[in-house]
Structure 1
Amino acid sequence: MSASCQRGWASCWACRGMRGTDRETSTALANRNGKGMTMSDSALSEFVEVTASKFRVPGVAVGVWVDGREVFATHGMTSVANPVAVDRDTMFVLGSVSKSFTATALMRLVAEGKVELDAPVRRYVPELVLADEQAPAEMTVLCPSAFLASNT
């Protein structure tokens, strides 16, 4: 685990598998001050560039919310076939990978006691509106798609 992870900045997803100077780069990303986390734009950019190069990622955009502000870093091209420089507004096709991120984030909140899987979705998303007004009032966090499938 890197020093940045020990300070609570991010889980080890950010530095898992890193060796040598990569750990130093990840450690430079975040520092605690008396008010919370801070992150250098240049440190994030360096980390993104080093990591993208290491894993041969042709293009990537990273946005992080830290200490009340957005920090962005980009690297590379949109694709090998369409070499347009990536910027903070570049749209990437995610496919199903967002489901894994969402499920992981949700289960971390469950582990921290901030979300209950059997609770009504409306507890956490009171503004949710569906054609069937009763549906969001009855569906739980664990099974919203199962409820919707059985009521369509």
Structure 2
Amino acid sequence: MLLYKQKKAQAVKGNRILISITVLGSAGPIRFVVNEEELVAAVIDTALKSYAREGRLPVLGSDLNDFVLYCSNAGSGALSPWDTIGRHGMRNFLLCKKQQTEKTAENGRLDNAIARRGSGSGSWKAWINKSLMFKIPSH
């Protein structure tokens, strides 16, 4: 009886909400219950674990630093990993993989492939200009 009362007191500690996270490129949302005071980073981690446990495709990986969580309304930006999930008053979210340029800027180093892409004769703009220079003989 005493153990039951302790569990009940722990459950009332914070408000719990049902959230729905749609993973970009996946068939449907992932739904689970979280505490309103839980950090966004912890929610991303839980979503990635649930996604992998369910065997969904495409395979995402498990590094939560590679992902960004957005509110489902169009006007908002990415949520900070240190915010609480209940702060925004939303229940529907979108989980996206970070772009390569965001990750390199976050780490403070420039990706070599991006640095080489625009320089030299191998750029795609130079190739298009060169291919458009061929004259088509007219009759």
Into which bin does the TM-score normalised by the smaller protein fall?
Answer: under 0.3
Higher relative contact order (CA 8 A, sep 6+): 2
Scaled by the length of structure 2, the TM-score of the pair is: 0.27
Scaled by the length of structure 1, the TM-score of the pair is: 0.26
